[in-house]
Structure 1
């Protein structure tokens, strides 16, 4: 009987998912995509230098495509079998990244919107809570495969979440104020669009508040955690004995 042959070709094994990170110093609490303990499986991180949250969210990631492509290729060279990012606004680069790295790419939590819409009853639709409603353009939505008339509400008018994450006002964060910013955005979304039957959180820093938003609104809430757990399930399907 022939012996088992171990196959090589990678630098790192056992972590098939690569995460492209923005360059930031704010706290990444448990549940945040950039906290390694958030994930129930190993991941590979790569910080894209120069890709500040403000530059990506408020300036359309101008001039950063090549840097993201290079970083994604580095992750694949290390051993990543799929790539994701820690900012939903990078849906602008979905097609380019997928073409460049030749592995599955999921740039944005908003890619869940069509899936979630398919689960809703007639007359209900998906709404998005984003870090920056004013900056989330039709191009961002189209890049994620989201209808451009999807209801959107942002946190940019809040006291903490946007100021810390995007403006870099400080390196600490009042978690309760940040939570309230998310809840307030959800309340505004439902007030403006009472036909919303489920919420997708665009921002990858929002999963720590998803359960509270679901409890507050009584609606299903989906985020980057729900999406990436699904994504990983295809990379490493459960082996049933």
Structure 2
């Protein structure tokens, strides 16, 4: 049996994951293997910053590593908080978050980086420090007050409506750009946001980076 190239540590969630989401195998042009980290809920990872989850993530990552995967990532950008702790226990490349691209994107574009996150109120300097991005000029916009996105993906209390989320994503990016016209690029923190890239293209032609652009870059390094 062919060994998957990319191992993905999944949060313990139940919402629908369309193509383009990191949790859908059809998203990738290469083989992947998913591993759910039990009890790693959005509540514990995003809202509580629960460091007790580091060891379960390490153990799950080691299981993927032992199966022969060449690279490991996660399904939540907020795990940047634990990038260094998890990576230090593995011997294959590990990238926790699309936020790792911030310093590179800043150098590529020569200007301020706009970050669109699932929950601005939870994204702190500590998350940027975890991936050495805290010295880079960034501005952050969140989906905190976008009901379709928040209820389906953050709170898991409603069914995902992609049309409504597309509208909300466009609104958030438009607000980000209007409030910060010096932004030269956009990074999508949330691994559930890539399915809406085409919607974002309706309101901006800025370079957009996400967990999939990072995945193609890292996986490409071992092919």
**Could you tell me the TM-score, scaled by structure 1's length?**
0.88
- Unmatched 5+ stretches in structure 2: none
- Structure index of larger Rg: 1
Equivalent residues in 2 for 1:220-235, closer than 5 Å: 220-235=207-222
Q: Root-mean-square deviation (CA), in Å?
A: 1.3
| 1-structure distance, mates of 2:175, 2:45 | 25
Equivalent residues in 2 for 1:15-164, closer than 5 Å: 15-121=4-110, 124-147=111-134, 149-164=137-152
Contact 1:125 1:198 in 2 (8 A): yes
What does residue 185 of structure 2 align with?
198
List structure 1 runs of 4+ shifted beyond 4 angstroms: none
Contact 2:25 2:32 in 1 (8 A): yes
**Can you list the C-alpha shifts for 1:119-162, whole angstroms capped at 9, x where unaligned?**
114xx211100000110010101112213651000001002112
Aligned length: 222
Contact 2:5 2:30 in 1 (8 A): no
SS of aligned partner of 2:40? coil
- Unmatched 5+ stretches in structure 1: 1-11, 237-241
1:168 aligns with 2:153: no
Larger mean CA deviation between 25-34 and 181-190 belongs to 181-190
**Could you tell me the TM-score, scaled by structure 2's length?**
0.95
| 1-structure distance, mates of 2:50, 2:30 | 29
